[in-house]
Amino acid sequence: MLIERKSVGHDIICHVTGFYPREIEVNWIRDGDYLLEEGVLSQEVLPNGDGTYQVRKTLTVSSEDQKKHTYSCQVDHSSLDNKKSFEWGKRKTLMNY
């Protein structure tokens, strides 16, 4: 499983790919609280060519809010021992599991 975080304008993106089985939960968290749907664009889980899956969750956040708050992408999948949370940073980050 590969987790990628990147920024495009006011959007921050959590892209999770290479997981199997298909069922996965990906959430954005701000200052420790779950963000439900406000500002969150959830794309459907899509297949990869190798039989694994990928999904993206995009959060629209103003530059001011990015400076004031801490944002994390949390992933829960059966292949992980525990939920994994990845705090947002200014640079692109890749994590392999």
Q: Which among 63, 56, 65 has a CA at the least distance from the CA of 6? A: 56
**Three-class secondary structure of residue 97 per DSSP:** coil
- pLDDT above 70: residue 44: yes
pTM, full prediction: 0.81
**Average pLDDT of every residue of the chain:** 86
CA contacts within 13 A on the Cβ side of 58: 9
Domains, the chain, ordered by start:
2-88 (2.60.40.10)
- pLDDT above 50: residue 91: no
